[in-house]
Amino acid sequence: MQDFDQLHRYLFSEAQVRGEMVRLQESYNAILSAQSYPSEVQVLLGELMAATSLLTATLKFEGDISLQLQSQGPLKYAVINGTDEQKLRGVARWEEGTEFGDFLSMCKDGILVITISPEKGERYQGIVKLEKPSLAECVEDYFAQSEQLATRILLGTEINPTQPFAWGMLVQALPGDESDKEAFERIAYLTETMNTHEAKVLEAQDLLYRLYHQEKVELFEPQEVEFKCSCSKERSAAALSGVDEQELLDIVAEEGSVTMNCQYCHAVYSFDAIDVKAIKSGTYGQNSSTVN
């Protein structure tokens, strides 16, 4: 059985370099199943999901990270949100009936917004212009600009109606030792020989041995990756608390209920007149059911 939907971290014992590898199948399929995406958008979501997992693994605190693409091209918006526990969710919006072309055409005049939100401490946001021909190279630009660490990233996908597959690898020079630049370049070159077929058919240890059998690699215990939406009826109720009560009651009178749809998992939460009264009085959830 393949060790998919896991993030693997590893260190090179004789070089100041660290690495990460993630391979996604069920979690990737869960995002694609929420909406009927064009194949080009499916590919980009897979790459974005793998990239978010890799970046989430760099967090040294409890919190969230999001990678968001915004553009004037056919792809208007795509985002993957992740947590330090490797729980991911995502969604994309695109212009119907257009030709997507390559990455830069698809994301014309675009930006990559990386937002890091620790549970304790200040929120940080980095913005990178989409000027390179691939998402992987654009994420490398982020590390070059914000972290100033030599970083190599590979991203890939295989679109299949029943078993879509996405993967990513990251190798990065550790801070504080400029003398190991040659070692980083050697390891980065070896990493670049990776391909989607090998990522899918080889076990993690076999894959790392194939790439780095001349290096000393310390592989740590993997971390599970899963699709997880944080929406809830309580959160939807909180969002409605800022809406005028009469406006909500008018919707109930006309449509039978106020409904809130999650853009990530498409869960539907409904609220009747009693719910509206409780929401506006601040007592919602204390004595009421929270079933969808």
pLDDT digits over 243-257, tens only? 888 888 888 888 888
- Please state, in angstroms and rounded to a whole number, the distance separating the CA atoms of residues 252 and 273: 6
CA neighbor of 4 nearest in space, from 63, 50, 38, 40: 50
pLDDT of residue 291: 40
Q: Which ranges in the chain are annotated with CATH 3.90.1280.10?
A: 233-281
**284-288 contacts at long range (C-beta below 8 A, 24 or more positions apart):** 284/234, 284/237, 285/234, 285/237
Q: Which residues of 258-283 are buried (b: 16+ CB within 10 A; e: fewer)?
A: bebebebbebebbbeeebbebbbeee
Cβ proximity of 158 and 164 under 8 Å: yes
pLDDT of residue 212: 94
Q: Which CATH superfamily is domain 6-227 in?
A: Hsp33 domain (3.55.30.10)
With a cut of 70, list the residues of the chain below it in pLDDT: 1-2, 176-179, 266, 286-292
Q: Which residues of 207-246 are buried (b: 16+ CB within 10 A; e: fewer)?
A: bbeebbeebebeeeebbebebbbebebeebbeebeeeeee
- Please state, in angstroms and rounded to a whole number, the distance separating the CA atoms of residues 39 and 37: 6
- Please state, in angstroms and rounded to a whole number, the distance separating the CA atoms of residues 47 and 40: 11
Cβ proximity of 244 and 251 under 8 Å: no
DSSP label at residue 178: G
pTM: 0.84
Q: Which ranges in the chain are annotated with CATH 3.55.30.10?
A: 6-227
End-to-end CA distance of the chain: 36
- Please state, in angstroms and rounded to a whole number, the distance separating the CA atoms of residues 202 and 194: 11
Name the class of domain 233-281.
alpha beta
pLDDT of residue 104: 95
pLDDT of residue 89: 93
Q: What is the identity of the amino acid at 247?
A: E
